[in-house]
Amino acid sequence: MTDLAKGAAWMGGQIIPIDQAAIPVTDWGLTHSDIAYDVVPVWEGAFFRLDDYVARFIASLTAGRYDIGMDRGEICGALTAMVKASGLRDAYVAMVAARGRNPVAGSRDPRDCTNHFYAWCVPYVHIVRPEAAAKGTSVWIAKSVRRIPADSVNPRVKNYHWGDFTSGLFEAKDQGFETTMLLDHASNVTEGPGFNVFGVFGDTVVTSDHGVLHGITRATVLEMCAEAGLKTQTRPLPLEELWRANEVFLSSSGGGVIPVARVDQHHFSNGAAGPVATDLRQRYFDWIGQDTYRTPIT
DSSP 209-263: SSSS---HHHHHHHHHHHHTT-EEEES--BHHHHTT-SEEEEEETTTEEEEEEEE
pLDDT in tens, 193-237: 999 999 999 999 999 999 999 999 999 999 999 999 999 999 999
The pLDDT value given to residue 96: 98
Kindly list the structural domains of the chain, giving each domain's residue range(s) and its CATH number in brackets, ordered by start: 4-123 (3.30.470.10), 130-287 (3.20.10.10)
Count Cβ atoms below 10 Å from residue 134 Cβ, excluding itself. 15
Identity of residue 240: E
The pLDDT value given to residue 1: 44
Rg from Cα positions in the chain: 19
| Residue 95 to residue 20: CA distance in whole angstroms | 17
The pLDDT value given to residue 91: 98
Residue 118, CA distances (Å) to 4, 35, 104, 122, 148 in order: 16, 11, 23, 14, 26
pLDDT in tens, 104-124: 988 999 999 999 999 999 999
**Chain centroid to CA 6:** 21
The pLDDT value given to residue 216: 97
The pLDDT value given to residue 212: 96
The pLDDT value given to residue 106: 85
Across 168-198, b (16+ Cβ under 10 Å) vs e yields bbebbeeeebbbbbbbbeeebbbbbbbbbbb
CB 15 within 8 A of CB 266: no
The pLDDT value given to residue 298: 85
| Residue 219 to residue 110: CA distance in whole angstroms | 33
Q: State the alpha helices, DSSP H only, in the chain.
A: 28-31, 50-64, 72-86, 130-135, 163-174, 216-227, 239-242, 275-287
pTM for the full predicted model? 0.95
pLDDT tens string for the chain (298 positions)? 458 999 999 999 999 999 999 999 999 999 999 999 999 999 999 999 999 999 999 999 999 999 999 999 999 999 999 999 999 999 999 999 999 999 998 899 999 999 999 999 999 999 999 999 999 999 999 999 999 999 999 999 999 999 999 999 999 999 999 999 999 999 999 999 999 999 999 999 999 999 999 999 999 999 999 999 999 999 999 999 999 999 999 999 999 999 999 999 999 999 999 999 999 999 999 999 999 999 999 8
| Residue 87 to residue 263: CA distance in whole angstroms | 39
